[in-house]
Amino acid sequence: MKEYYSIVSSSVEGLSGLFHVRLNPDCEVYEGHFPGTPVSPGVCNIRMVLECAEQAAGHALRMRKLNRCRFTTLLTPQTHPELNIRISLQPKDEGVYTLTGTIGKGEEEYQTLKAEVTDC
């Protein structure tokens, strides 16, 4: 499948990072979500945030819990082609972190999540 997004630029400091991403309107996922009405799937956005967190951590992560994830704005590659993803990993235990992530642009927040992730 064609990539869902690409990271245009990023700045990582310790276990926090800010990623500037671009959504790919040609990704095949839009053929099915939904036919004739492309909508960026929330779960693909969750995966995108997780992958940014993995970049900051330097290795693969697994989500043990998704405490809360709120989607306040519908995103499409046409209406929101570029997004900022802010992530922060707080160590909780040996190999366990609290991940907070936000997808937004400027002052606006489109999606927020808080999860418990572990080293793979």
Partner 1 sequence: MKGEEIYRLIPQRPPIVMVDVLWHADEQGAETGLTVQADNMFVREGLFREPGLIEHIAQSAAAFAGYGTYIRGEEPKLGYIGEIKDCVFHDLPAVGSELHTVIRMVAQVQGISLISAATTVNGQPVAACQMKIFLKE
| 1 token code pair | 């499948």
* 32 makes contact with partner 1 (CB under 8 A): yes
Q: Of these, 21, 23, 50, 103, which contacts partner 1 (CB under 8 A)?
A: 50
Residues 6+ apart with CB under 8 A from 68: 112, 113, 114
The contact mask relative to partner 1 for 66-85 (x = CB under 8 A, - = no) is xxxxxx--x-----------
- Do 73 and 39 contact (CB within 8 A), yes or no? no
Rounded to whole angstroms, how far apart are CA atoms 99 and 86? Answer: 10
* 34 makes contact with partner 1 (CB under 8 A): yes
Q: Of these, 29, 54, 76, 109, which contacts partner 1 (CB under 8 A)?
A: 29
| 101 token code pair | 């992530």
- Strands (DSSP E) contained in 53-106 are 61-71, 82-93, 96-105
* 39 makes contact with partner 1 (CB under 8 A): yes
* 1 makes contact with partner 1 (CB under 8 A): yes
Residues that bind partner 1 (CB under 8 A): 1, 28-29, 31-35, 37, 39, 41-44, 46-47, 50, 62-71, 74
